[in-house]
Amino acid sequence: MKQLTPYCSTHATFLSFVVDSYTIRWLNRMGVGKERYGDVKGLFEQILPRDAEKYAIAHAAIVEFSKNICSSTPRCEICTLKDRCHHYLRERKQRSRRPAQARGQQSGEQ
């Protein structure tokens, strides 16, 4: 993992977990369903030890993961969390239904 950026280092001085769109998107895809800033902040502050540096490291990891894997166009095929990810499982289920639906339409047309 990369070193902390100046942005993260600045925020590490505060005893608060930084929540942004990367964090919200990742949690929603994983099925946690937390969308409000305060709910997400509270969740991470409850789970992680009360330590500003640990908050910054966790946030930096989420940002890095979200930029490279769980981006706005997710790269699910290489994600190590895909078997636990609601987004991936839902997409996989929909993909498996598409060929069957297409076969049904073709046989109905003939």
Asked whether 35 and 24 are in contact (CB, 8 A), the reply is yes
Most confident of 1-5, 66-70, 93-97: 66-70
Can you say how many angstroms the Cα of residue 104 is from the centroid of all Cα atoms in its chain?
35
pLDDT score, position 48 = 95
- Rounded to an integer, the average pLDDT of 99-106 is 56
- pLDDT tens for 22-55 read 999 999 999 998 778 899 999 999 999 999 999 9
Q: Distance between the two ends of the chain, CA-based, in angstroms?
A: 56
Whether this model's pTM surpasses 0.85: no
The per-residue pLDDT for 12 is: 47
Whole-number Å distance between alpha carbons of 51 and 69? 27
Domains of the chain plus CATH, in order, are 6-109 (1.10.1670.10)
How confident is the model at residue 67, as a pLDDT? 96
